Amino acid sequence: MLWLTLANAADPTCTEWDPSQLVTNVGGMPSTESSGLAVVSGGFLTIDDAGGDASIYRFDADGEFLATIPVDGATNTDWEDVAVTPCDEGTCAWIADIGDNDENRATVTIWRAPITNQMSFAGVACVVSYEDGPHDAEALLAFPDGSFRIVTKDPDNAKVFHIDALVCDGSTNIFSKETELVLGASVTGGSVSADGSLVALRSLETGWVFGGCALDWAASPVDLLFVGELQGESVAFAEDSSLWSSSEGEKFELHVLECVSSETLECEECGCEAGRGGAWISAGLAGWGLMRRTRRLR
């Protein structure tokens, strides 16, 4: 079951976030890594880093580890990010095996895994290359229109690569360079808001939100601050535009950046259709028993 919310141009858009604050430590996790994070109804999905199991781990905002879900057929060379979007089967997890510290991988992989009520998911490889050769990257941006972007880890000039849609039939999907971002820190994770109008990128301690009515990389981003995270590599939008992050290490930590200011984007500003149409919000996985409300900080 996929929960849907239809957004429109009159919906408020978050414009400012508090610094991150610790929500809970997650106990019982099989791994101390959290290379990517996705928000689903009642909880979260995360993944292991290079050489770890080819599995998705789910947990809730109370710090309870819920399950390990193997991704059948997949391998974990260097998983770095995870996202959840609608797909033909209902809802898919997209796992970015895009880490390449030595920049010598001719192709990398985005694993497509339809989410079911089963205790394992079937992974299908979407083979990826960049138009100008290998790059090390840790941020996958999956948009509700089916397009994807990858942001590289270059500390001086992060490169953004784009493709309109992925084909997962063994052929190679070539990502084209879209722009470069001068951020002053290495990008370690990314997320797209439910309606596709906001993009969050993060480094270990800072972050940036781009967007508005439509994605504009040239506009000045809103700054984010991640506080007290030992090694934060993950960030994910929730339905209310708050941002969640996880920190690696012996203490697997869950943090939140609350939305503290928002504004309504009028049709005259950017057009009613500019990135504000129907949007997925989160995957409601009733068969997993993920129907508890996510705890909110007040």
Helix (H) / strand (E) containing 87: strand 81-87
Is the pLDDT at 296 greater than 70, yes or no? Answer: no
Higher pLDDT, 210 or 5: 210
Question: What is the C-alpha to C-alpha distance for residues 80 and 252, in angstroms, rounded to an integer?
Answer: 16
Average pLDDT over residues 253-277: 68
DSSP assignment of 173-220 equals EEEEEEEEE--SS---EEEE-TTS-EEEEE-SSEEEEEESSS--TTSP
Mean pLDDT of 21-40: 89
In a domain, 181, yes or no: yes
Is pLDDT at 278 greater than 70 in this prediction?
no
- Domain membership of residue 112 (yes or no) is yes
Condensed to tens digits (0 to 9), the pLDDT of residues 214-250 reads 788 999 999 999 998 878 889 999 999 999 999 876 6
Structural domain of residue 53, as residue ranges? 2-288
Q: Residue 292 above 50 pLDDT? A: no
Q: Is residue 295 part of a domain?
A: no
- Residue 269 reports pLDDT greater than 50: no
CA nearest 69: which of 98, 40, 90, 89?
40
- pLDDT score of 235: 97
Q: What does the pLDDT read at residue 137?
A: 98
Q: The domain spanning residue 136 has which CATH number?
A: 2.120.10
Residue 180 domain-assigned?
yes
107 occurs within a structural domain: yes
Domain count of the fold of the chain: 1
Please check whether residue 219 lies inside any domain of the structure: yes
Q: How far apart are the first and last CA of the chain?
A: 29
In a domain, 59, yes or no: yes
Task: Answer yes or no: is 294 within a domain.
Answer: no
